[in-house]
């Protein structure tokens, strides 16, 4: 038996960051959006043959066996699969440990989401593994149980389950869907080398020793989303981590300038970076921005948001041919 779940990349339309709390976490007020770059996670019971339904074009695969579980990772050509651990530290295996109802599993991850790119690829894999495990064993746990498991795994994992456009508070794990009447066209430029999220937060602390306890609220952004107005949304996009990410990777400033000169309404760093995303006024506009940036950058992608949270795309009963 195997189940394949697809989970989307996230971007942060608003990322307000406050001063670190006593537990070391930064309080966040963020607006997430799920966009159409996906990881597919297939979870099989270890006695069955893994499925071969992964949809992205693999560039390479690494695999290992940990205790009883085993994991393999493949990815699109721009995805640094070597940066993804295949031991028990892989967050998809940690998700199975969190959810486990017994027995060993095989996990195959097919990645389109850049690794260490500020797009919550690991969180997407964790959410997908949780849901795949639930459906594989026909547990049908209530949403609040899955969301609680997700929150224990990481701040962005609950949003990866929920998808769409949502506000996140606390560490980002307290997720509430919000009204979004837009279809938003994005151009996405991943970097060849990722950035460590903790490193970006440490740099934010150095740059802002006087950060307020309460993070900035997304009031104007919520209005722009509710009205579906691209120019207004472009003005309201906000990322408190952008300065730190650009300070660590100065070339990102140049990339943002080029995208805006190429026709984007606004460019910004996605989350902790280094991926940059560009809001465009339409699908045609995004094609123009993509063409403009492709003259200087090897990997330029287009995506639309909001899209669904983690969802089953395939269930396969090995040996019977039944689906």
**Interface residues with ligand ATP (CB under 6 A)?**
83-85, 90-92, 109, 115-123, 125, 156, 194, 197, 271-272
Catalytic residue among 10, 39, 80, 240: 10
Rounded least distance, CB 188 to ligand ATP, Å: 13
End-to-end CA distance of the chain: 10
Element (H, E) at 43: strand 28-45
Question: Closer to ligand ATP at the Cβ: 85 or 177?
Answer: 85
Rounded least distance, CB 320 to ligand ATP, Å: 30
Rounded least distance, CB 241 to ligand ATP, Å: 9
Rounded least distance, CB 194 to ligand ATP, Å: 6
DSSP letters spanning 97-166: HHH--SS-EEEEEEE-SPTTSSS-HHHHHHHHHHHHHHHHTT----HHHHHHHHHHH-TTHHHHHHBSEE
Question: Closer to ligand ATP at the Cβ: 11 or 265?
Answer: 11
Catalytic residue among 69, 125, 156, 240: 156
- Catalytic residue status for 10: yes
User: What does DSSP assign to residue 214?
Assistant: S
Question: Closer to ligand ATP at the Cβ: 54 or 224?
Answer: 54
Q: Tell me the residue nearest to ligand ATP as measured from the CB.
A: 122
Q: What is the CA radius of gyration of the chain?
A: 19
3-state secondary structure of 82: helix
User: What does DSSP assign to residue 181?
Assistant: -
Rounded least distance, CB 175 to ligand ATP, Å: 14
Question: Closer to ligand ATP at the Cβ: 169 or 235?
Answer: 169
CA angle 210/215/216 to nearest 5° reads 110
Q: How many Cα atoms within 13 Å fall on the side-chain side of residue 322?
A: 3
Q: What are phi and psi of 113, to 5 degrees?
A: -80, 125
- Catalytic residue status for 111: no
Q: Which of 166, 156, 161, 164 is nearest to 183 (CA)?
A: 164
Question: Closer to ligand ATP at the Cβ: 97 or 226?
Answer: 97
Question: Closer to ligand ATP at the Cβ: 120 or 265?
Answer: 120
For residues 13 and 236, what is the distance between their CA atoms, to the nearest angstrom? 8
Residue with tokens 């959810």: 99
Q: Are 1 and 45 in contact (CB under 8 A)?
A: yes
Rounded least distance, CB 153 to ligand ATP, Å: 10
Please tell me whether the peptide bond between 183 and the residue prior to it is cis, using omega within 30 degrees of 0.
Answer: no
Active-site residue set = 10, 156
């Amino acid at each position: 038996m195997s189940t394949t779940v697809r989970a989307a990349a996230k971007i942060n339309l608003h990322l307000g960051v406050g001063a670190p709390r006593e537990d070391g976490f930064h309080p966040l007020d963020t607006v997430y959006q799920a966009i159409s770059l996906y990881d597919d996670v297939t979870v099989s019971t270890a006695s069955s043959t893994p499925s071969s339904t992964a949809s992205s074009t693999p560039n390479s695969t690494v695999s290992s066996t940990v205790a009883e579980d085993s994991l393999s990772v493949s990815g699109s050509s721009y995805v640094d699969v070597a940066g993804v651990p295949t031991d028990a530290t892989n967050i998809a295996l940690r998700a199975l440990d969190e959810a486990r109802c017994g027995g060993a599993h095989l996990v195959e991850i097919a990645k389109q989401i850049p690794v260490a790119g500020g797009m919550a690829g690991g969180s997407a894999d964790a959410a997908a593994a949780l849901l795949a495990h639930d459906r594989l064993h026909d547990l049908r746990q209530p949403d609040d149980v899955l969301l609680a498991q997700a929150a224990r795994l990481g701040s962005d994992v609950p949003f990866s389950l929920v998808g769409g456009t949502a506000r996140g508070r606390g560490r980002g794990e307290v997720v509430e869907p919000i009204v979004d009447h837009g279809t938003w066209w994005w151009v996405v430029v991943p970097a060849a080398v990722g950035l460590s999220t903790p490193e970006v937060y440490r740099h934010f602390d150095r740059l802002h020793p006087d950060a307020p306890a309460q993070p900035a609220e997304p009031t104007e952004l919520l209005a722009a989303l509710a009205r579906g107005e691209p120019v207004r949304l472009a003005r309201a996009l906000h990322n408190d981590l952008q300065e730190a990410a650009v300070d660590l990777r100065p070339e990102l400033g140049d990339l943002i300038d080029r995208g805006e000169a190429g026709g984007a309404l606004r460019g910004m760093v996605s989350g902790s970076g280094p991926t940059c995303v560009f809001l465009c006024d339409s699908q045609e506009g995004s094609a123009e921005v993509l063409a403009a940036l492709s003259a200087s950058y090897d990997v330029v992608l287009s995506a639309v948001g909001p899209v669904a949270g983690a969802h089953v795309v395939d269930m396969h009963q090995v040996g019977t041919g039944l689906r």
